[in-house]
Structure 1
Amino acid sequence: MSLKAVGKFVSQKWFVGLIGLIALSLMIWLVGPLIAVAGHEPLKSETSRFLVLLGLMFIWGVVNIRQQKKEKKEEDESIQSLLEVNAQEDEESAAEIDLLKGRIDQAIQVLNKSGKRGKQSIYKLPWYVLIGPPGTGKTTALANSGLEFPLSDSLGQDPLSGIGGTRHCDWWFTNKAVLIDTAGRYTTQDSHSEKDSKAWLGFLGLLKKYRTKRPINGAIVAVSLVSLMSQTRTERGMHARAIKARIQELKNQLGMQFPIYIVFTKADLIAGFNEYFADLEDEERDQLLGFMFPESCDDEKGVISLFNKEFHHMLESLDKRMNKRLEQETDLDKRALIFEFPKQLRMLQANADEFLGDIFAKNAFEESTMIRGVFVVSSVQEGMPIDRVMNETSSGLGLSQLSLKTSSKESVSYFIRSLFEDIIFKEQYLGSVNRHHQKQNRWVKHGALALSLTSVAAFGAIWFQSFQWNQQLIDESDSRIAEIDSQVKRIDFNFEDNLIESLALLDKVMQLPMGYAGYYEDVDGIKKFGLYQGDKIGQPAKAAYHQALKGYFSKLLESALIEEMNENQAHREYLYETLKTYLMLFNTERFDLVHVESWFELYFEKNFPGEFNEEKRASLMQHTKNLLLNDDIGLYVNHDAVRDARNVLTQLPLAERAYQRMKLQFIKSHVPSFRLTDVLGSQSLSQFERKSGKPLSAGVPGFYTFNGFHSIFQMQISRTVKNLMEDNWVYGDNINIHTVDHDLAVKGVRERYYRDYIYEWESLINDISLKATPSLELSLIQSRILSSSERPIESFLKAVQKEVSLTKVSLSQNEKVAAEVATKAADVALHNKKNAIGRFMPTENTNLAISLPGKEVERAFEGIVKIEQQDFELINQSLVGLREYLADLSSSGNNQKLAYKSILDGTVTEDVARSLKRTNAILPSPFNRWLVGLSHESTRLAEKGSQVHLNQIWKSQVVKAYERSIKGRYPFSPAAKREVNLKDFKRFFGYGGTLDSFFTDYLEPFVDTSGRNWRFEKEIGVSQETLVVFQRAEKIRQTFFESDNSVKIDFGLRPKYLDQHISKFKLELGSQKLVYSHGPERTQSLSWPSSSSETRIIFIPPNSSREISHTYEGQWGLYKMLDQSLKARPETRKDNIVMIDLKGNKVQLELIPTSTINPFWSNDMERFSCPQTL
């Protein structure tokens, strides 16, 4: 017997059921005695087990017999119904149907005689439908496929009347499948469309009715290559649409998806086909010529988009074989045909791609089609081949065509058999089942399956579960122990040096089956039927875990405690808690499990932070808890570490330790922090800021507030000191802490608390300030907010008063504090709550003030505490006055002018400033600085407004005149060519002139001119340097102007020297003349300016009529001459000797001023300039 036959035999249903029956029988026979139900063992005796086995065999036999009868009946009914219905659909073909019915009956009889039923019966074989236009060669392809037809001896090779065409449906029964060859008219439906459509749909209905689960296993679409070559594009499109419609009807009517195979027939009618493949043997002709598609493709057109690529690969393989054929063939005509054959196929590629694209291209409105491949076949070699290559070449070049002949050889099939047997039949299960049938029978199948599985599971679980579970338990235990053993040998099991791997290894020891973690401990009764091994496995697993904890993990905990004690000696409170935790491990009387676990939990969070280490922390904590549950943790006291820690702790006074403990414990409590944001609204808060840059929401911790003082500090101070005194075992037996006075320690704690209390509040108060207001608008907004109904300054002061007034609490406040502490006691871990609250409970229902501790804080803030309501009213009045003043400035159309007048009058600004200064004396620092700042700010705004007003006038009156007639002109710019007109000079600098009028009208009331340097007696927004301009202008005025406001300077000139080669020297100043001829030195009185607008000097040599002269043009000619002389002889400024040198001719003149103010050598005019702004 062959392997294939053996495989078919063992895969039959009855054989599989028999194997299951034998296995079930063995289980019943072997495991049955172990089953007990309520103490009764029904399968203990061999007789009872034998009867159960007989019953099972009987049931199995009955089920198989019924199944076979049912299958035979369904098969007979299916075939009979097909024949009868087909006859009814086409009465005109009754004779043919009778012939078909006779042949089918004969085939059934032959099958019955041969005994080939079951798997090989007609009903059980896969069914395939062949569709395609008429004349495509579907029937011929089947007849010449080389497939085995088991009925051929009795039925004949042809199913009906031959190969002349199929009228209805031909049924081909092979040994591997049933092939239904449909008439071509069913596909095209182009002659009697209504009749053909009804026949086609009726045929589909029969398939769906009698093969409900999977009506067909696939569809084969036959297309003639001749049609692709000869038909027009329109005709090809009509056939493509018809085929597409039939495929959609198959899918819709049968309710399933199925594979589709495209078979291009009549390849022998392509010129060169017969010649190209003439050398193939029988087995080579059974091979494939074509290609397969993948089941899916990413291209939006679907797998059909791969046609051109795969067709090209096929042509490449033909091209590779062509050289061999050309070498073999000697006939020139055949060689030509062989050479052209791949080109013939290539010319069909475009038509084939278009044709298949019309059928199988993806459509958003249709379900995609499962096209599996495209294949080329030839059934018989009949007819005249078509040579498209030569036709086109000949017509294009005008050559005669090569005459083609029909094949004279016996017809053989090409590339068909392997297509069916190796491709199509092997994919018989690729298609889906009928969706309607699947949905209809789902519950039935599931119910039957569930019932079967439940029955088998019930017996199988009872018989095998105990054995299997216990065996699995043993195997897993052995496997894990071996794994742990190998890891112990491989790694250093040391938590201090190799934490990660050691921790993972300890986790595995804890998770041993039936071990400490409890894995597999939840065992039901079935698992314990006589084979339970949990106790034997669990005991050593737990012992191994305990040993690992004591021998290895405990060292990690001890190392952590000692390391923390050594590294945190500066943090004494943490050192104390660490030492206390360490000592608890060795003192069962003092041991507090919650305390120790809390310490280690905090330690793991500090050393292994973050979400990344969450699992590690959980594992460490779990092992820690498991270790602490044991009485013996395998550790010994490290006396050196304990001694060092105690030495550090005893250096700190008890009061300091108690205070630090309270601070750490209660700095974050239920008592809320004091925040300015809780006192003031958002509008008021917008006017304040912190100098340090901290947010206003940052405040004073609740521990240092009124509520914190009374509800925490007062209630906890004595208890904290007492607890520390009682913890003398932590400090060591040699430390007698009871000798310390309790009250003295409490006093020391209070002093430290008051010190920090005062510091916290001073830091907050000194850090808060009002925001600067750089503009009038912002100042007005600030004054409105500060004087609003919320009164932010008053609210802040009252809030501070409440928090620092610790010595007086009303009765109602007492009750409130006591109730708050009672409801939130859990947050501060209070002990004996009733006594703690009772200390502050009043004995009588009065509203008397109760004197409490806290005077030290009140004394520190005495200036704030003593402020009364009348003081707040005075503050508010000052702020209202400031607001009204700023509002007047803002509402005025010319607020700068109003600001100037307010400073000039000195009424409004002084009243506001005086009021703010008066309230300033009431407030302590730094609140008084706020009001001083507001006073300065109001004055600054007035000064700024005044400055703007004065600058507007200054620019329009003074600067404009200065730039027009003075700036850049001589003598104010010595190098300038243009000079200042004396009228402009008088108009600008004279008494009552531009500068003098501006000073008199706007600045003089505020300026003290009595000193050497002028100064402002009151700030008006003008800089002190501005007065230098007016002071220089005053000196110019005194120098050049007479009391009648005329410009006049009287002076004298006395000749001192004249060159010998010059007989006479003349100086003409207008009509005024000075003449010198080496005579006595006489003083000539002169005045400036003169009637003429020029100054002239003349040198006259002896006995010569030619004069040497130079004229200094302009009204300032005299000054130009003197400036030139000063440049030549700088000493002139000191001795007033004027040296005139004209072309080597020199004269010296002594300049004699008539006034104490020398009008000639001063640089006031050169240094004078008008700034753009004051």
Structure 2
Amino acid sequence: MGNRTANTSMLDALLREAENKLGSAGRKGKTLHTLPMLYLLGDTNAAKTTAVLRTDWNAELIAGEAMRDGEVCPTSTLNLWFADGVLLAETGVALNDSPAQMRRLFAKTRPGSWRTSFRGDAPLRAAVVCVSCERLLGANAASELAALAAKTGEQLRELAKFLGTAVPVYVLFTKADRIPFFAAWVRNLSTDEASLLLGAAPRDFSVRPGSTWAETASATILQSYDGLLSDLQGTRLPLLARETDGPVAAENYEFPREMRKLRNSLSAFLIELVRPSQLHVSPLLRGFYFTGVRAHMVEQIISEAAATPKAIAQQDAGATRIFSALSAQQGATSADSFAPRTSSKKTAQWAFLPRFFPQAVLRDAAALAGSGTTRQASLFQRFVYGTAAALLLLLLIAFTVSYSNNHTIEKQLNAADQQLAHNEAVGGANELAAMSQLEQLDILRSHLVQLEQWQREGAPLGYRWGLYHGNTLLAPARRLYFEHFRALLLTRTQNNLIAELGGLPATPPQNADYNSTYEALRGYLITTSYPQYSTSAFLAPVLTNHWQNGATISSEHRALAQRQFAFYADELTLDNPYSIKPVDTSVNQARTYLAGFGGFERIYQSILTAASRQTASIDFNAQFPHSAETILEPHIVLGAFTPSGYTFMQNALAHPEVYFRGEAWVLGDKAPATIDTGSLKQQLTTRYDTDYITTWRAFLDQAHVVKARSLAEAGTKLGIVSGTNSPLLALIQTASYNTSVQDKSISDAFQAPQTLVPPANKDQYLTSSNKNYVDGLLTLRSSIQQVTASPTGTLDPAAAAPIASAASAAHLAAQQTAQAFHIDAQAHTDAVTLALMEAPITSADALLHGLGPAAANAGSRSFCSAVNGLFSKFPFNPASSVQATPAEVTAVLQPNSGELWQFYNTNLKSLLVQQGTHYSEAPNPPIRVNPAFLRFFNRAADLSAAFFPAGATAPSLTFTLHNLPSNGVQKATLKVDSQTLALKDPPKQFTWQAATAANASLTANDLPLTFTGVWAVFEMLDKGKIERSITPNTYDLSFALELANTPVRAPDGTPIVVDYELSGPGASVLAPGSMSGLRCVDSVAR
């Protein structure tokens, strides 16, 4: 890790050094990203640095180290050269051995796509790969070249991927002097000839029809190389003419042959080097060249010659025609001329290298032009057009989505309207609305609430784009909802209110309830004449009670109705959807009745109403979102019975005279009876304290925990109830906090909830007082989760044990926590609190009783599915046209390995006990076995024993047939495969084996009855009729003779039948109809 970091730092430092030098040279805008660049790649000792130094390019080193102590040194990380406006990045060991570092170099020197997109073509990028010719020689040349090609090829493909363009690749084979006879061949070349290019430039790599890329590339490269070899062979005669040393002349002639030996290995290397990627752009081979060192005599002229021959013209670098000048020079070199006086000095010269970079690479116009258009730049140029098209497409999609969403709103409203209209036509106006009707009404309400919200806050983006018409749908939707609301809920409710108010006597009886009548009258008047006084906290429970009118419904049913009444109560203050006149006779009757109570009730109710206006009521499920998933609390507590309401009430009770008139709009102008002001304050205080206690007792009494329907759901609910935001503890804390007032009699009445969750813990429900209880819930939840998380957990009856143990421990923890509760002998608040605590545990505990049977039944379903597939076929189902195979019978019925017995060993062994050949329920089983399943299992076990007698591995049966006297039958022959029973023969034992069974027949009076196939004997015997069965496994069978499906009759008109007696072990299986009705019952337990 440290070495990689050091290499990264060194690479970044070298790149910064190059940037700084370019900037300091006054080259504004010329950076590593904007200048042309060649990447010089290659393995160690490939003479990369030397190749740069010995060329005529005059490159300047701007970063890195090339020379040390006057000698060329290995490149450790990177050398950056600059020449003629072109950068050359020479990679060293650290980069070659680290793909990550090589990728970092490519990324740091990649042309910027933004600049390229707006300023034309990208600066050129090309790669030069240096390969020592030593790699082409030697015993391991093939494997070393393959490894080198794979490594360098991956670098080239990575470079092409980074640049997004087909990178031109030029391969320079250095150290050609290692090739035998190179020195002899090159020694007589002139300086100008040695500075020419030795190589080839293959061009056409397009894949030909019917060929692969490798085949095409191989042919192209070999063709170019063969052209080079042809040129080399053409230099033999001119060079021989120059050679004066006889032995060396022969070596000169051998060099082209040595080059030919490299043909296949060189081709294979180049193919692997530039093999294209199927996923990204790839490198493109543009040429391969050779260079090597020769010993060169440098002559220094002492005196001028009489005549100087013309210099060799510069040759073109194209293809392979590189030594054509030799032929032209042959005659010139043989001519005798006046030679100058010279002195000679021997030096090392790199042949065929000087013009490589400036000519072979930088003048390859076609390749470099292609490299100037990067994929990133092209993509960016297309981005503008693509963006415009995408925006138009997005706009089209937005219009489509908006239209679809708006159409869906209208469609949903119409669907709910039609469904409700149909349901209302079925029921009457005064009938209690069904749960399904209220669910449809609630859907319509949710749509209406959504439309109202969108009118206030704006519709979501997916509904806009100029197509939103929810605001125009709002009025029709509101009208539809309240039409159905009136039909389903309001009409019945108002009728019940009118009946109740109109049926009141003139004077109230002893101990009559003032408040219930007052609330009924007040609620009725709000729905008719005084909607401005509507509040959901008051009106919703009043209307719900009178809609229900004593009918028995579920808590969910009631909650659904109350939700509609709450919405109606809120809407009344905004815009009354109805104009309903009150029934004056009922209103007046109720007012007269209430006036009969005297002034006390009027004053008390007026004070309560005033207090509730000052303080919000408590609707627990509304105040605690999602609490209804675990706790249902239908009781809404008026604001007068909260701590702030208590404070208001104390001041109001001290000055009751302010409330002597009450709510005139409710009670009318009827004057109250004479009030005894002396005792009024005490009476009001006593009444209020009593109602305070009664209200919160009702709050606890009416709360109930939602039962789980499965173990998994029980675990989820326990997690919620035991969490930091536990709805159950929040409910207890609500009662605890709101009953902790100054009046000690009120506070003491609720000691139990105040002990479980202290009143001060308004935001922290988990305390030391309930820790053991909560820990018990968490343990129970963990036990359940361990079972439900296992794929087979809920299918294992034994899984109930740890859950039952945890449930018992949780019950005990709850009861131990409740020991701190004071006993409430009057209202049993302690017991009510404990019951709420234990309800989640009881719900989970109740599911355990069905765990064992459910597990057994779940396992039996897959078993029965497989078994019934067999028993639905012939011979088990005589009416089926599909026949079972012996393999299917074996798979199900074979003892030990068959599915029947595997299921028995896994699931039934502890439930059943074998008594002889019969199975019965075991004594005291963990679960009770379904009698119907037990009957099936015994029949299936009998079949298994019959088909697989001791040791049998394939179905077989043994049975006996005996001829019985048959009137009118002169001859009869019964055959089962090769076994025959004639009319006069004694009883005969037959053996049927599924592996060899082929046919069965019965011929009587020359009338044949023939069957073929594995089950032929079953088909034949199934044609018989059981006349009687005197003993078990013994049957008298009769076969009626038929001709063309017409019974054959004796002279006296009676049908002629052939009678046989069927007996033996297999008789119970072969008897007609013996296997009918055989079907697995998937309810194993009950």
> Shorter-normalised TM-score: what interval?
0.3 to 0.5
By percentage of residues, which structure has more helix?
A: 1
Q: TM-score scaled by structure 2?
A: 0.35
Q: Which of 1 and 2 has greater Rg?
A: 1
Q: TM-score scaled by structure 1?
A: 0.33
By percentage of residues, which structure has more strand?
A: 2
